[in-house]
Amino acid sequence: MKRNFQNYIKEYGLKLFVSKAIRRQFLNSNSSLGQKINDYNEKLVSEKLQKIFNEEEIDETGLFEVKKKFDTLPIWIMWWQGYDKAPDLVKACINSVKRNNSSRPVIVLSESNYEEYIGIPKYVKEKYELGYITVTHLSDMIRVALLYIYGGVWCDATILDVAEIPQKVFDSDFFTIKTGLKTKEPSHGEWTTFFLASQPGNELMRQIAVDHYKFWKQHNELIDYIMFDYIIRMITQHESQTESQVKAVPKNNPNVFKLIQYINEPYQEVSEQIADFEKNTKLFKLSWKAEINNQGGTVYQHIIGKYLE
């Protein structure tokens, strides 16, 4: 979906539009000025969102209907076009999760089957079909609603899993990958939205879903690409129980973003380094959009060979 700047200003005001434009110029700056601009932008976005959430009401009747039964908490993955149409790297990542968690249901969602597990508000589906909501942001709503209804783990389709996901993840009230590294996003390194886990009925998951539904009930223009992170931050700032759940998650998978940096390197030359990463990291965030060197013997070819061929 193309951003409509005129609509954005109409919906959220010129001040926020200008603040976001200035922030983009300082994204790679570690200066105190850059931090102040980032904090100010975060404050403006949060204030706008809070006003929306306070104004809107959502009828939750039938919204979180249980459509399936599971004996054990499942792992949820989604590739909108379906597994067969996924890039090879995505297929390899999905296969890695299945292979390393063979005793647990791994549900691969797509456009053709997601409604077997979950219902979404009619206006959300309509706004997706009209192009106001992207697949990325539709999946934000799908993942938290699924976790609230069924529990389990949400794992993005571009996560390479090199070991079984520990039982303690499934036993936790809430779990996420937490590197602990300070970021300029509202998560500040305390969570990642591409790997989330919860018990069924988790209040944080419900509130994230409801806030998304409230937002899209009132607006057609996304206020911020990482609105998901803003919502989590706002909920945890106002509700001590959800804040405690997030803070209780220990630092984990510190090298989650490292493997992608080696994707085109000769595997034999970096295999020891990768083995070192895997000592304390079992989940690696990759990207199907990465420029791939198709020469033989690379880390990419090693992953494909191990999990796809």
Q: Could you tell me the pTM of the whole model? A: 0.94
User: Is residue 63 in some structural domain?
Assistant: no
Confidence of residue 295 (pLDDT cuts 50, 70, 90): confident
Q: Are 113 and 147 in the same domain?
A: yes
How far apart CA 125 and CA 119 sit, in angstroms, is 10
Q: Are 107 and 156 in the same domain?
A: yes
Q: Are 240 and 272 in the same domain?
A: no
Confidence of residue 2 (pLDDT cuts 50, 70, 90): low
Q: Are 183 and 266 in the same domain?
A: no
CATH assignment of the domain containing 175: 3.90.550.20
Q: Look at the chain and report how many structural domains it folds into.
A: 3
User: Is residue 277 in some structural domain?
Assistant: yes
Q: What is the pLDDT of residue 5?
A: 83
User: Is residue 61 in some structural domain?
Assistant: no
The parent domain of residue 211 ranges over 75-218+229-248
Q: Are 213 and 88 in the same domain?
A: yes
Using an 8 Å Cβ cutoff, are 154 and 195 in contact? yes
Q: Are 46 and 159 in the same domain?
A: no
Give the number of C-alpha atoms closer than 13 A to the C-alpha of residue 282, restricted to the C-beta side. 13
User: Is residue 253 in some structural domain?
Assistant: no
Q: What is the pLDDT of residue 233?
A: 96
pLDDT tops 80 at residue 277: yes
Higher pLDDT, 161 or 309: 161
User: Is residue 41 in some structural domain?
Assistant: yes
Q: What is the pLDDT of residue 193?
A: 97
Q: Are 86 and 213 in the same domain?
A: yes
Q: What is the mean pLDDT of the chain?
A: 94
Q: Are 37 and 99 in the same domain?
A: no
The stretch 174-193 carries a mean pLDDT of 91
Mode of pairing for the β-strands spanning 195-198 and 283-285? unpaired
The stretch 192-207 carries a mean pLDDT of 98
User: Is residue 223 in some structural domain?
Assistant: no
Determine the Cα angle at 179 with ends 145 and 233, to 5°.
45
pLDDT tops 60 at residue 280: yes
Q: What is the pLDDT of residues 221-235, one digit of tens each?
A: 999 999 999 999 999
pLDDT tops 60 at residue 1: no
Share of the chain above pLDDT 70, in %: 99
Q: Are 47 and 104 in the same domain?
A: no
Share of the chain above pLDDT 90, in %: 81
The stretch 152-176 carries a mean pLDDT of 98
Q: What is the pLDDT of residue 262?
A: 97
Confidence of residue 123 (pLDDT cuts 50, 70, 90): very high
Q: Are 96 and 240 in the same domain?
A: yes
pLDDT tops 90 at residue 34: no
pLDDT tops 80 at residue 3: no
Q: Are 16 and 116 in the same domain?
A: no
Q: Are 135 and 169 in the same domain?
A: yes
